[in-house]
Copies of this chain bind each other. A is one copy, B any other.
Amino acid sequence: MELIQAILNRHSYRGMYLPDPVPREHLQKILEAGLAAPSGCNLQSVHLVAVEDPALMGEIGGMLHKPGFASAPAAVVVFSKLKYAADGHEYRAQDYAAAIENMLLTITDLGYASCWVEGYVRFYENIAEKLARALKAPQDWHAVAYLPVGRPAQPVQPTAKAPFEERAGFNAF
């Protein structure tokens, strides 16, 4: 798919997924796209885990009280580690957000749907800690987002946004 098509076709999908498995080679492409994203001072503060094992997906589904997200046949769990750049600042959120955007575009390109599930994972019922335990993550890596991956059972609808003129300009705000 052309880049611009992937960018315009990517939408957040919260509906049910079909049970068709996602081939390992597709998950590999999704992870590689995520890892190709830039990171602040190249600190590579992101670690990615693709989940496809049905028993594990069942366990994760039990943590998520959202039937749509829980119905996906596969998922990517995004981990982040605090690393300080040479300037003394940290760019964790920027690093994992760029990786997530690359993965969402690739998921779209491969004909799957997904959703950037972050706040729900980080701030609700310790889902982040449960995910980290289930995937055997080291203590210093924190789960920050869950991306379901699968064929959507319903149409994927765009989200309404403010018009271009209100959100961008040329040579002045």
Contacts and interface: CB of A to CB of B under 8 A. Distances in A.
Interface of A: 1-8, 10, 12, 24, 27, 29, 31-38, 40-42, 44, 46-53, 56, 79, 85, 87, 89, 91, 93-98, 100-102, 104-106, 109, 116, 118-119, 122-123, 135-138, 141, 159-162, 164, 167-173
A3 B173 contact: no
Total copies of this chain within the assembly: 2
Contacts of A52: 170-171
The interface centre, meaning the residue of A47, A52, A141, A173 with most chain B CB atoms within 10 A of its CB, is A173
Nearest to A89: B119
A109 B32 CA distance: 19
A115 to B, nearest CB: 9
5 contacts: A44-B162, A46-B167, A47-B169, A49-B171, A79-B173
A53 to B, nearest CB: 5
B123 A89 contact: yes
Nearest to A33: B7
Contact of A173 (B104, B136, B162): B136
B171 A53 contact: yes
Given A44-B161, A50-B169, A87-B123, 10 more contacts: A4-B33, A7-B36, A32-B164, A38-B104, A40-B118, A41-B119, A50-B168, A85-B119, A97-B97, A141-B173
A101 B118 CA distance: 18
